[in-house]
Amino acid sequence: MRKKIVKFSWVPALAATMFYSFATKEAIAERSEILSNYYVAEHSGISGAYSFEEAQAYVAEEPVSQFTPLLTNSYLAFREAIGFRESGGNYQVVNHFGYLGKYQFGLGTLALIGVTDAEEFLNSPPLQEAAFYANAARNKWILQRDIARFHNKTINGVKVTESGILAAAHLSGPGNVKKFLRSGGTIGFEDGFGTSLQAYLKTFAGYDTSFIVPDRHAKVVPVEDRA
């Protein structure tokens, strides 16, 4: 009897083929939005999920018509959507500003959550996933009052949601998110590529991020200490 596939499961090899088959920026963005909802949850701790190797075998065995992923608004969908937006899901990429990995972390942010070895970080997908959660948990603690105050309100025509706030904090840091929200959208932020905080509020609105527990002192558990 087969193991159940997590509803938001995604096979990296298949996704990469589909992703890069679209040449235009618009097509890539659209495909990213679709593919960002799938992930092979071998590092998620979800019981019964396929490992990467098992998922590869599944896709090879099953007719394509039977491989019908289900879109969700879960935490994993949220996480993967940000990963695709930041790096195309590439764990080992380093951009010319020095940001690292799938989620494009800066060294300063990594240090805050207990990661000090950049080489280890780039070569460890589980460490990067743990770092994403720890950073989100820390940001959620910092922004909890703003989340309560501004959730479901509209600023500059954009509906503010918890997931949008956490995504914007990933892009710009929680301090800039506070400034934007508390100024009614008059104090903005753009990264080195011109991506605005407001764009992240809009793009990543509506995901269920209740899985993320606010934690002022969130740290990444060292690899050797994990079960």
Written as tens digits, the pLDDT of the chain (227 aa) is 333 333 333 333 334 333 333 334 444 344 344 333 333 333 334 333 334 444 344 334 434 333 334 447 899 999 999 999 999 999 999 998 999 999 999 999 999 999 999 999 999 999 999 999 999 999 999 999 999 999 999 999 999 999 999 999 999 999 999 999 999 999 999 888 888 999 999 999 999 999 999 999 999 976 555 55
Residue pair 84/35 in contact (Cβ under 8 Å)? The answer is yes
Query: What gap in Å lies between CA 111 and CA 122, rounded to an integer?
Result: 14
- The encoded tokens of residue 154 equal 């509209």
Strand (E) positions, 40-106? Answer: none
Q: What is the model's pTM?
A: 0.69
Torsion of CA 40, 73, 202, 154, to 10 degrees: -160
- Inter-residue long-range contacts of 218-222, CB under 8 Å, 24+ positions, other chains counted: 218/113, 218/133, 218/134, 218/135, 218/137, 218/138, 218/141, 219/113, 219/114, 219/134, 220/113, 220/114, 220/115, 220/127, 220/130, 220/131, 220/134, 221/130, 222/114
In the chain, domain spans: 1-72, 90-225
The Cβ of residue 227 has, within 10 Å, a number of other Cβ atoms equal to 4
